[in-house]
Structures are given as C-alpha cells and as structure tokens.
Amino acid sequence: MSRVRWKAVRPLRHRDYRLLWIGLAVALLGSGLWLVALAWQVIELGGGPVQLSVVTTAYSVGLLVCVLFGGVAADRLSQRTVIVAADSVRGAVLLVVAALALTGLLEVWHLAAGAVIIGAGEAFLIPAYTALVPRLLPPEELLAANGLEGTLRPLAQQATGPALGGVAIAAMSPGVAILVAALTYLFSAACVLAMHVRPEPATVEVDADAAPTGLRAMAADLREGWTYVRRTRWLLASLLFGTVFVLLILGPLEVLLPFAVRDQLGGDAREFGLVMAAFGIGGAAGALLISSRKLPRRYLTVMTLMWGVGSAPFVLLGIAEDLWVMAVGAAVVGATGSAAMVIWGTLLQRRVPDHLRGRISSLDFFVSLLLMPVSMALAGPAGSVFGVTAVFAVAGIGPVIVSLLVVWLGRMPADEIAHPLDHEDHSDDLITANA
C-alpha cells in the first residue's frame, strides 16, 4: 500500500513539476474563490439568474473563442511563457474588478467584461499546461501526474476554494474574495517563472519549403486533428457525448445552484460554499479511487456511464430542502465525473498518437465546450420559466439516456475488446490511425 501511495506522488520529486503543481494548486483555489464571489457579487448588485447567466456566458464565450488559438500557441510558443502570461493577465483583471467592487463602482457589465478575459486566459493556459507536463516528467510518471491533478482540481477549485470564498464573503465582502483570487493567479505566475527548465515546444518534422505558415499552418494542423477524430469512432462518440453533457449540466450547476441554495435551503454564501465543497471532495475521492486501481477492463463503457448515470443526483439538487441531502447529491456527481475525467485523460495519452495529442487535446476542449455559452445563457431563463426543479430534473435524467445511446451507437463494448488496456500493455501497440 505504501508503494502505491509513493508512486502516486512520485512526480513531485521533480523541482520544475513541483513548482508548476504548486502554482496550479494555488490558482485553482483562486478559481474556486472567484466562482463563489462572482455569484454573490451579482446578487449583491441586485441581479438574478438572468444577470448571472450573462456573466457566466461571457466567461464561456472568452474560453470558447480563444481555445483553438491557445492550442496553436502551446504548440508554437514556449508553454512556460504562455502560462505566465495567462496567469498574469487573469490576476491583473481581477485586481481591477476587486478595486471597483471595494470602491462601490462595480456594475454587472464590469463582471461580464472581466469574465471574458478570464475565460480567454484559461483558454491559453490549459493547452499550454497539458503540453508542458510531458516535458517535465518521464513517460512512466505521467499517469501519476494525471492522478495528482485529478485529485487536486476538485479539492482546490471545487471544495477548498468555494468554502474559503463563502467564509470570506460572509465575513467581509465579495470584493475581498475577488482580491484574494487575483493574488493567487499572480502567485501561480511567479511559481512558473521560478522554473529552471525552459523546454521548447515539440515540432513534427516537415519539409521546410513545403510547410504552410501562419493561418494556413493552423488550418492544416487542425484539419489533420479533425480527420483523426472523424476516423476514430470511440473518440468521436466521446466528444459528441461531451458536447451534449455540457449543454445539459453546466448551466444548471453554474447558474441555478446558488439560487437553489438560497430559495430551497434559505442559505447564503456559506451554504453554497459547503455544497460546492462537497462536490469537490467527492471529485477528489473519485479521482483518487480510480487512479489507485487498474484501468477498468470496460474502460469506455465505465467512463461514459460514470458521466451519464453519475449525473442522476442532479435531480436531488433541484428538490432538496436539507443541506446534507444537497451536499450528498453534489458529492456523488463530483465523484463520478472526476473519476471519468481521469479515465479520459489516460485514454488521450495511451490511444492518441504523440504527434496528434496536442491538437486532439485542443479539439477536445473546443468541442466539449462548444455549447457551454448556450447552456449558460439558457439556464437562467429556463429556471425562470419552468422552475429550478424542472431544469435540474432534465440535467439529471438527460445524461443517463444520452450515455446509454452513446455506448451503443459508439460500439464501445466491441472497441474495448479489440483494444484492451491494462498496466502491462505498451501504449505504442495501441496507437493506430483507427484506434
């Protein structure tokens, strides 16, 4: 058992990865603070679900518009520089928003404008982080690194950050929480700046005279990645499921949950922070549990059903009148979703060719978030027209039905039999054009 625990934290032996991981941990705390502060700042300004939908939609638009450019930047520039720039911009923007909030000058449109830039910064940061990690660690430690991040993200962003945000808001104000979030992003940038290694982006060997440049190069790279996705049935089915999944669950979670806490529980930022903390703790437990075992034999089916069937407790979030019931529902959703993400990250590493991994990661991010703005924009009005309970019911039941269809139409059971993955397999044997 001790050997398993040691293996799980082995990547932290490497100084540069340790700095990157510490920076990520603190920045994720800031993102959790920002999540809670944003919702309660809108409420403090007199806004409701529609106004919060506008602000969260602005964030998702910034993320979606810039994500493909972020993927290209991660391939063509120093990933370290991209991460430092993204965190610095996010920190500077939140400093301005915090100053406006603390001086009483903040308006909802300021939050929306800041959210666009925060989303754009994240669109550049995530592909760069994904591309940088394999350059800091040996291949045999990448799975452990995925487990570390899979545990860290829900603990920091979805549990500790929101809980601290709720306490800060209740004790002081949303503006103070936003200020702390700004400082976390700047701290993350400082950690990455302190790294000694400056790995250069990998490039695929091509004929220099024949290689396209500029926009042509970007289009050619993306076209090759999209061609691979279209030819790879399990990947295409998973990405299409992710698109529908985001449409069904993200808007209710981000927009309507604060109002469910307020109206059903009579709660405030503290109760909301506790529900989000339960979501994050469940996510950390799910990631830790799945990464401490062998990959499931039916890995595609298990992954898809964890996302789909694991969303059923969303129904509870729309009807719960007790804090513990809502917290348990959130914890189950967090656990299954996070466990599925660990499997997904492993599949991208083991079943996607090295030279396509960056582009597939970028396309994954883009396609998965394609309907994020729609989900954010519809959640508020849908909650007002049909009621929060009805919207959460759709968020809980819809993914169950869609996941069963995807497993069947994507022929996932047959694919799993044809491509077994266990700890003794060699990933090179599993990389084919039609994996």
Longest Cα–Cα distance in the chain: 67
Tens digit of pLDDT at every position of the chain (435 positions):
445 456 667 788 889 999 999 999 999 999 888 888 888 888 888 887 778 878 888 887 888 888 878 877 877 788 899 999 999 999 999 999 999 999 888 888 899 999 999 999 998 998 888 778 777 877 667 767 777 887 887 778 767 887 788 888 888 888 899 999 999 999 999 999 999 865 454 444 444 444 455 667 777 777 777 888 888 888 888 888 988 998 998 888 888 888 888 888 887 777 887 888 888 888 888 887 877 777 788 889 999 999 999 999 999 888 888 888 889 999 999 999 988 988 887 787 778 776 676 677 777 877 777 777 788 788 888 888 888 889 999 999 999 999 999 999 888 888 888 778 754 444 333 333 333
| DSSP-assigned letters across all residues of 7-76 | HHHGGGGSHHHHHHHHHHHHHHHHHHHHHHHHHHHHHHTT--HHHHHHHHHHHHHHHHHHHHHHHHHHHH
CB 7 within 8 A of CB 154: no
What pLDDT is recorded for position 198?
52
Q: Is the pTM of this model over 0.85?
A: no
CB 75 within 8 A of CB 130: no
Amino acid letter for position 403: S
Domain spans in the chain, listed from the N-terminal domain onward: 2-195+212-430
CA distance 202 to 186: 27
Query: Which letter does DSSP use for residue 295 in this model?
Result: P
Domain spanning 2-195+212-430, CATH class: mainly alpha
Handedness of CA 92, 94, 276, 385 (dihedral sign): negative
CA distance 297 to 4: 20
333 is written with which tokens? Answer: 């959703």
